[in-house]
């Protein structure tokens, strides 16, 4: 590491010394031999700055002997450097006075960079990048040369030769060089540059060819001399680039204008087409169809309209960029043709917004009108239906007269249920339309579809019950061997277990009704009983029900028979207990009923007087 450090320091010492002496020679100032020693009193540094800065620095100590005088000189020099915009980090006057070799090299490199290389400007790049880009462009026509840096790219000497040949092809033939002889090519370039171009030989051949990596700062310092030497020769190239850039700008402005006009024309055409379509579009009378039109409008707002809004903003930006570009290059401001100006687009955009509002209002009004019409249609049907149901319910309640007349009237009313069901189906359709329109409350009626369905079911149930009652009464009327009390008991039992109001009992309902009357059968006994009474059907109507009860109660119709039966259950006691009733296998509901209704004997709460009970229920 120490060897490498010494190498670049030696090269920089030599290169920067030659560069310094070349600048001092302008005023015939004696050359320096030792940078550290000769720059330590500040005199040479001030003289150098006056030359490269082209500005006198004022009075200073020209023959300083004291350290403080040297420091004053150095501070004056460094202040001038800072004044010229150079940031001197970690370099102070005392460092130079104390002959710090590395910091002195750093200071000289800073000056070279600021006053020699920083002036180079290529494609907006400065300093190192600008100089490198300039070298790459100048050597681009030479395939043998590939400048990528300021170190290895120069070791074969061809890059130096290419720079010279590009600007002075009259001095030698580049393609007659021996491309493999790097020492000779480098030496040849240095000699030609010094002799014909007045470029001082700041480097030696061994500084380029005989070390592993040439010193970057030294190479840049030397190559910068080529740039300045050829700057006048490059005026034609710069002029050509300037003309080319102007043409590019003009073409860009033209293309931007054409793009703006095409896009404005297309956007305004699309807007006009949509507004014409809306004006010609007739809103439907159906809610679903209008909802489709409303959805299409909402889709337009969230898709097409947003695309147009974005395009409008982009067009405004494009026009602004056009104006800015024209102003930047002092061109005549771009003006869109009539009909495509921002004011024209803004006018049509306002028309679009007004048309959108009108479209939205029309759709919303149509939806409100359709909803109102649907509510009125439903309300009218519901009110008419409810009135008919009420009228029939009143007629059912008012039925009177003999059973045959009532049966005829009930059948007439039952025949009117079918038209009511058809009418209800129409109301259901009207209600479905209201549901589809999201109508939750109807301002024109209090009857919703559930109310109407419930009322219709009540009407049908009332008719069925009335019809069953009349038919059962007619059957009961023919049963002359039953007392009115028995008929009432049997009929109420039948109605109680007729859960579906069908005037018929299922097998389970029939068994439950018998048990409630005190007639219990085992499964083997009950099957034949039901089959005989049902006569091959899966239910038993009222007449077979009454006939069966008559058949099994004929021997229990007299009070004497009942007194005898109670006596048997009581074990011939004058009273019966709850346990006696349970032992006789009476159903629990029957036991409960008798316990609740039979009087107790005096002083005995669990002894029931069945004789007194029978006396109270029989005439």
CATH number of residue 219's parent domain: 1.10.418.10
Q: Is the pLDDT of residue 239 over 80?
A: no
Q: How far apart are CA 215 and CA 545, in angstroms?
A: 127
Q: Is residue 529 a part of any domain in this protein?
A: no
Q: Is residue 304 a part of any domain in this protein?
A: no
Confidence of residue 469 (pLDDT cuts 50, 70, 90): confident
Candidate ranges 391-395, 429-433, 458-462; pick with highest mean pLDDT: 429-433
User: Which token pair is 250?
Assistant: 């003009």
SS3 at position 126 = strand
Q: Is the pLDDT of residue 236 over 60?
A: no
Q: How far apart are CA 376 and CA 399, in angstroms?
A: 35
pLDDT digits (tens, 9 = 90+) for 146-180: 999 999 999 999 999 999 999 999 999 999 999 99
Same domain, 140 and 99: no
Mean pLDDT across the stretch 326-346? 91
Distance of CA 142 to the CA centre of its chain: 57
Which residue, among 361, 351, 336, 341, has the nearest Cα to 271 in the 3D structure? 351
Provide Rg for the chain, Cα atoms.
61
pLDDT digits (tens, 9 = 90+) for 23-54: 999 899 999 999 989 999 999 999 999 998 88
Same domain, 27 and 112: yes
User: Which token pair is 468?
Assistant: 């069953």
Q: What burial class does residue 310 get, using C-beta atoms within 10 Å of its C-beta: 0-12 exposed, 13-18 middle, 19+ buried?
A: exposed
Domain boundary residue, one of 65, 96, 117: 117
SS3 at position 594 = helix
Q: How far apart are CA 468 and CA 328, in angstroms?
A: 103
Q: How far apart are CA 235 and CA 610, in angstroms?
A: 143
User: Which token pair is 410?
Assistant: 């009930």
Total structural domains within the chain: 3
Of residues 10 and 236, more confidently modeled: 10
pLDDT at 244: 77
Candidate ranges 169-178, 436-445, 452-461; pick with highest mean pLDDT: 169-178
Which residue, among 492, 461, 500, has the nearest Cα to 476 in the 3D structure? 492
Same domain, 126 and 108: no
pLDDT at 560: 78
Q: Is residue 157 a part of any domain in this protein?
A: yes
SS3 at position 601 = strand
pLDDT at 1: 39
Q: How far apart are CA 82 and CA 163, in angstroms?
A: 34
Same domain, 73 and 128: no
Q: Is residue 526 a part of any domain in this protein?
A: no
Beta bridge partners of 601: 604
Beta-carbon contacts of residue 317 (< 8 Å; ≥ 6 apart): none
Q: Is the pLDDT of residue 235 over 70?
A: no
SS (H, E, C) 490-538: HHHHHHHHCCCCCCEECHHHHHHHHHHCCCCCCHHHHHHHHHHHHCCCC
| DSSP tally for the chain: helices H, then strands E | 26, 6
Of 92-106, 252-266, 527-541, least confident by mean pLDDT is 527-541
Listing DSSP states for 154-166 in one string gives GTTSHHHHHHHHH
Q: What burial class does residue 381 get, using C-beta atoms within 10 Å of its C-beta: 0-12 exposed, 13-18 middle, 19+ buried?
A: buried
Same domain, 97 and 77: yes
Q: How far apart are CA 49 and CA 108, in angstroms?
A: 11
Of residues 108 and 524, more confidently modeled: 108
Mean per-residue pLDDT of the chain: 87
Q: How many residues appear in the chain?
A: 619
185 in Cβ contact with 156 (< 8 Å): yes
Q: How far apart are CA 110 and CA 81, in angstroms?
A: 9
SS3 at position 575 = coil
Confidence of residue 3 (pLDDT cuts 50, 70, 90): very low
pLDDT digits (tens, 9 = 90+) for 285-295: 888 899 999 99
Same domain, 88 and 125: no
Angle of helix 216-230 relative to helix 101-112, nearest 10 degrees, comes to 30
Q: How far apart are CA 136 and CA 402, in angstroms?
A: 126
pLDDT at 51: 92
Mean pLDDT across the stretch 246-271? 91
Same domain, 166 and 149: yes
pTM recorded for the entire structure: 0.42
Confidence of residue 5 (pLDDT cuts 50, 70, 90): low
pLDDT at 321: 92
Mean pLDDT across the stretch 544-558? 70
User: Which token pair is 200?
Assistant: 């001082």
Q: Is residue 584 a part of any domain in this protein?
A: yes
pLDDT at 2: 41
Mean pLDDT across the stretch 207-232? 90
Domain enclosing residue 63, as ranges: 2-117
Which residue, among 525, 520, 472, 459, has the nearest Cα to 498 in the 3D structure? 472
pLDDT digits (tens, 9 = 90+) for 387-412: 999 988 888 888 887 878 888 888 88
Same domain, 159 and 62: no
Q: How far apart are CA 332 and CA 344, in angstroms?
A: 22
Q: Is residue 492 a part of any domain in this protein?
A: no
Confidence of residue 331 (pLDDT cuts 50, 70, 90): confident
Confidence of residue 554 (pLDDT cuts 50, 70, 90): low
Same domain, 15 and 66: yes
Q: How far apart are CA 101 and CA 37, in angstroms?
A: 9
Measuring CA to CA, how many Å separate 107 from each of 16, 69, 147, 489? 10, 20, 27, 130
Listing DSSP states for 331-384 in one string gives PPPP-PPTTSSHHHHHHHHHHHHHHHHHHHHHHHHHHHHHHHHHHHHHHHHHHH
Q: What percent of the chain has pLDDT over 90?
A: 49
Q: Is residue 98 a part of any domain in this protein?
A: yes
Helix ranges, 53-181 (H): 67-83, 93-97, 101-112, 127-139, 158-167
Domain boundary residue, one of 56, 86, 117: 117
Q: Is residue 275 a part of any domain in this protein?
A: no
Which residue, among 574, 573, 568, 600, has the nearest Cα to 586 in the 3D structure? 568
Same domain, 145 and 202: yes
pLDDT at 233: 63
What is the number of other CB atoms lying within 10 angstroms of the CB of residue 97?
21
pLDDT digits (tens, 9 = 90+) for 507-528: 888 888 888 888 888 888 888 8
Domain boundary residue, one of 117, 139, 168: 117
Mean pLDDT across the stretch 5-9? 74
């Amino acid at each position: 590491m120490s060897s490498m450090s010494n190498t670049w320091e030696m090269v920089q010492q030599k290169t920067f010394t030659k560069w310094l002496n070349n600048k001092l020679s302008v005023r015939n100032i004696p050359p320096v031999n030792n940078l550290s020693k000769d720059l330590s009193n500040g005199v040479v540094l001030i003289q150098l700055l006056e030359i490269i800065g082209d500005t006198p620095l004022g009075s200073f100590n020209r023959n300083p002997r004291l350290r403080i005088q040297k420091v004053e000189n150095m501070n004056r020099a460094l202040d001038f450097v800072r004044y010229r915009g150079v940031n001197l980090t970690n370099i102070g006057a005392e460092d130079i006075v104390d002959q710090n070799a590395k910091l002195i090299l750093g200071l000289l490199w800073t000056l070279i960079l600021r006053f020699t290389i920083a002036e180079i400007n290529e494609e907006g790049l400065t300093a190192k990048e600008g100089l490198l880009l300039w070298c790459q462009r100048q050597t681009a026509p030479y395939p043998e040369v590939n400048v990528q840096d300021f170190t290895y790219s120069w070791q074969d000497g061809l890059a130096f030769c290419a720079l010279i040949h590009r600007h002075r092809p009259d001095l030698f033939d580049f393609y007659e060089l021996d491309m493999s002889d790097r020492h000779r090519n480098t030496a040849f370039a240095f000699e030609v540059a010094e002799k014909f171009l007045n470029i001082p030989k700041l480097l030696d051949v061994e500084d380029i060819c005989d070390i592993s990596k040439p010193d970057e700062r030294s190479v840049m310092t030397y190559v910068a001399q080529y740039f300045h030497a050829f700057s006048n020769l490059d005026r034609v190239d710069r002029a050509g680039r300037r003309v080319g850039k102007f043409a590019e700008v003009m073409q860009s402005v033209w293309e931007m204008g054409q793009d703006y006009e095409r896009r404005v024309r297309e956007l305004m055409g699309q807007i006009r087409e949509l507004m014409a379509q809306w004006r010609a579009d007739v809103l439907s009378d159906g809610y679903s169809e209008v909802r489709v039109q409303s959805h299409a409008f909402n889709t337009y707002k969230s898709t097409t309209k947003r695309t147009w809004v974005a395009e409008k903003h982009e067009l405004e930006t494009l026009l602004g960029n056009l104006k800015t570009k024209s102003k930047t290059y002092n061109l005549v401001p771009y003006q869109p043709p009539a009909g495509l100006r921002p004011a024209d687009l803004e006018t049509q955009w306002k028309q679009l917004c007004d048309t959108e509002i009108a479209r939205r209002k029309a759709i919303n009004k149509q939806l409100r009108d359709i909803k109102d019409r649907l509510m009125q249609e439903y309300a009218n049907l519901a009110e008419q239906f409810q009135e008919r149901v009420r009228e029939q319910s009143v007629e059912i309640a008012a039925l009177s007269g003999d059973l045959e007349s009532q049966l005829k009237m009930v059948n007439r009313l039952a025949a009117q249920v079918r038209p009511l069901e058809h009418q209800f189906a129409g109301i259901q359709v009207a209600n479905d339309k209201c549901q589809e329109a999201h109508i939750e409350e109807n301002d024109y009626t209090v009857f919703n579809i559930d109310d109407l369905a419930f009322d219709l079911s009540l009407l049908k149930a009332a008719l069925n019950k009335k019809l069953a009652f009349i038919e059962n009464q007619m059957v009961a009327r023919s049963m002359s061997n039953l007392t009115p009390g028995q008929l009432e008991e049997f009929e109420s039992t039948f109605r109680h277990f007729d859960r579906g109001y069908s005037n018929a009992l299922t097998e389970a309902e029939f068994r439950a009704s018998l048990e409630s009357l005190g007639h219990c059968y085992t499964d083997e006994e009950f099957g034949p009983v039901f089959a005989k009474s049902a006569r091959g059907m899966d239910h038993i109507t009222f007449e077979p029900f009454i006939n069966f009860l008559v058949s099994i109660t004929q021997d229990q119709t007299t009070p004497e028979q009942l007194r005898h039966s109670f006596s048997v259950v009581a074990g011939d006691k004058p009273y019966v207990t709850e346990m006696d009733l349970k032992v006789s296998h009476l159903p629990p509901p029957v036991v409960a009923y008798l316990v609740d209704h039979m009087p107790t004997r005096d002083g005995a709460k669990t002894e029931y007087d069945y004789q007194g009970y029978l006396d109270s229920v029989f005439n």
